């Protein structure tokens, strides 16, 4: 029968200045003028401000985040090339709303269509890309919904590649934050296009509608949206130092409001919170004795990187508690769960992860197993 050995460890943290050690008061998050909003740390996933995050709303042109994510994914696998020449259909040419002004029957490089969709929010480019990938926009919408399931967007349904009004075409602030995080994580090279302030095509120069790009140098994306039903929407992301935040504002009153409210959220998060990488994926956290194995001990780690977002000035108040199964008896498989890690701030658990074996430990030889077995038996006799 396994028991649990508990170890309280001080996190291996760099020394902070006296100013950083002072505990900063954390005010309530600002009140946001929108139907729904969400502010979340990209690395830790901690939500810093939220309202109506699961309310189904029309996303308008923010839909194009999913359209571009799919195209980027196909580029990544080699199924598409930036040099692909896309023939523009009459449907794409006639698509209403914002345009990059492509012409029916012309062949346009896929890279230009992507930039026209991302920077100029071209609905015509979105339809052209959807048709190039899937043959028709309807089929592409089915693909969008499959990707939504894969990304954990549980309350989203897509019926077109543009975000033009369609019955049932909805998403949520929570789902859009997941999509934004996936975009940054999975396609960092293409994500840089979301920071471009303008794009010129066919002699027509158009500006990015994300006005935060001009007012805040740390903002590097992502996408605006607007229809009468959706209101004014903006998914934005900014990175200051080693901390990246994602903000989602849906259903604001006007173009200025969606930018102002997004800026307020970002400023709040960066001013009052800080994010730290506590442990790396596979990084040795501790070791533990192994009985009846070829090795005498085994290193323990967590499977993925661990980031923690906490109020500013409270970093050195973190404690790590390791709960390790005891005894550990071979054979042990690589990545086998052997315990847990809990990180606490002033007694409150802020993160918990499984502790796993960094390598396999096969059974030892007969005499080694016999010796260890007898020692375990004697230890058991004297346990209280």
- Local structure of 211: helix, strand or coil: coil
pLDDT value of residue 295: 84
**What is the distance between the alpha carbons of residues 173 and 175, in angstroms, rounded to a whole number?**
6
Give the tokens for residue 346: 């002033």
* Domain edges within the chain: 35-199+210-276, 280-381
Q: What is the pLDDT of residues 313-326, one digit of tens each?
A: 999 899 999 999 88
Q: What is the pLDDT of residues 108-139, one digit of tens each?
A: 999 999 999 999 999 999 999 999 999 999 99
Q: Does 64 participate in catalysis according to the annotation?
A: yes
CATH number of 35-199+210-276: 3.40.710.10
236 catalytically annotated: no
Report how far Cα 111 is from the mean position of its chain's Cα atoms. Answer: 25
pLDDT in tens, 334-374: 999 999 999 999 888 999 999 999 999 887 656 545 555 56
Q: What does each C-alpha distance from 238 to 49, 97, 142, 218, 245 come to in angstroms?
A: 16, 28, 31, 5, 6
Between CA 309 and CA 43 the distance in angstroms is 9
- Tell me what the pLDDT averaged over the chain comes to: 90
Give dist(CA 81, CA 71) in Å, integer: 10
Return the number of other C-beta atoms located less than 10 Å from residue 296's C-beta.
13
Cβ–Cβ under 8 Å, residues 135 and 141:
no
Q: Are 67 and 144 in contact (CB under 8 A)?
A: yes
Q: Please tell me which residue in 50, 121, 247, 288 is annotated as part of the active site.
A: 121
Tokens linked to 383: 């346990």
Tokens of 64: 């194009």
* 297: pLDDT strictly greater than 70: yes
10 Å Cβ neighbour count for 256? 11
pLDDT score of 49 more than 60 = yes
The correct CATH number of 280-381 out of 2.60.410.10, 3.40.50.2000, 3.40.50.1000, 3.30.110.30 is 2.60.410.10
Q: Is residue 256 annotated as a catalytic residue, yes or no? A: no
Catalytic residue among 64, 99, 115, 178: 64
What phi and psi values does residue 219 have, to the nearest 5 degrees? -80, 130
> Quick check: 16 pLDDT over 50?
no
Q: What is the pLDDT of residue 215?
A: 95
pLDDT at 329: 87
Lowest-confidence segment of 71-85, 170-184, 291-305 by average pLDDT: 291-305
C-alpha to C-alpha distances, 88 to 108, 110, 125, 140, nearest whole angstrom: 7, 11, 9, 16
Catalytic entry in 44, 49, 50, 61 = 61
Q: Which residues contact 73 (CB under 8 A, 6 or more apart)?
A: 147, 186, 187
**What would the pLDDT profile of 230-270 be if each residue is shown by its tens digit?**
999 999 999 999 999 999 999 999 999 999 999 999 999 99
CA 74 from chain center: how many Å?
19
This prediction's pTM = 0.89
Q: How far apart are CA 354 and CA 335, in angstroms?
A: 10
Please tell me the predicted confidence (pLDDT) of residue 236.
98
pLDDT at 383 over 70: no
Residue 300 near residue 356, CB atoms below 8 Å: yes
Is the pLDDT assigned to residue 145 strictly greater than 80? yes
> 286: which residues sit within 8 A by CB, 6+ positions away?
7, 9, 299, 300, 322, 324, 355
What is the rounded average pLDDT of the residues 276-282? 93
């Amino acid at each position: 029968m396994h028991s649990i050995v508990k170890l309280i460890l001080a996190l291996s943290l760099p020394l902070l200045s006296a100013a950083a050690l002072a505990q900063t008061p954390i005010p309530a998050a600002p009140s946001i003028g929108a139907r729904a909003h969400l502010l979340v740390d990209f690395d830790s996933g901690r939500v810093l401000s939220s309202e109506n995050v699961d309310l189904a709303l029309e996303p308008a042109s923010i839909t194009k985040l999913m359209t571009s994510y799919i195209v980027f994914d196909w580029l990544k696998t080699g199924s598409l090339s930036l040099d692909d020449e896309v023939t523009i259909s009459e449907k794409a040419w006639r698509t209403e709303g914002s345009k990059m002004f492509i012409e029916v029957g012309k062949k346009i490089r896929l890279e230009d269509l992507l930039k026209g969709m991302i920077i100029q929010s071209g609905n015509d480019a979105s339809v052209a890309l959807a048709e190039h990938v899937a043959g028709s926009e309807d089929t592409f919408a089915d693909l969008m919904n499959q990707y939504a399931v894969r990304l954990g967007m549980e309350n989203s349904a897509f019926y077109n590649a543009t975000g033009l009004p369609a019955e049932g075409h909805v998403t949520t602030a929570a789902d859009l934050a997941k999509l934004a995080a996936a975009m940054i994580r999975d396609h960092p090279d293409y994500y840089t296009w979301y920071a471009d302030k303008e794009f010129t095509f066919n002699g027509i120069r158009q500006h990015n509608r994300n006005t935060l790009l001009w007012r805040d140098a740390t903002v590097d994306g992502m996408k605006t949206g607007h229809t009468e039903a959706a209101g004014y929407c903006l998914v934005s992301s900014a990175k200051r130092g080693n901390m990246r935040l994602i903000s989602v504002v849906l259903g604001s009153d006007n173009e200025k409001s969606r930018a102002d409210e997004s800026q307020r959220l970002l400023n709040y998060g960066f001013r009052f919170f800080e994010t730290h990488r506590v442990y790396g994926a596979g990084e040795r956290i501790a070791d533990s004795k192994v009985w009846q194995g070829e090795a005498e001990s085994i290193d323990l780690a967590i499977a993925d990187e661990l980031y923690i977002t906490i109020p500013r000035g409270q970093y050195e108040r973190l404690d790590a508690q390791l709960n390790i199964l005891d005894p550990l008896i071979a054979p042990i498989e690589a990545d086998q769960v052997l315990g847990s890690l809990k990180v606490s701030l002033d007694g409150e658990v802020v993160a918990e992860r499984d502790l796993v074996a960094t390598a396999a430990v096969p059974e030892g030889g007969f005499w080694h197993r016999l010796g260890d077995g007898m020692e375990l038996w004697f230890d058991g006799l004297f346990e209280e």
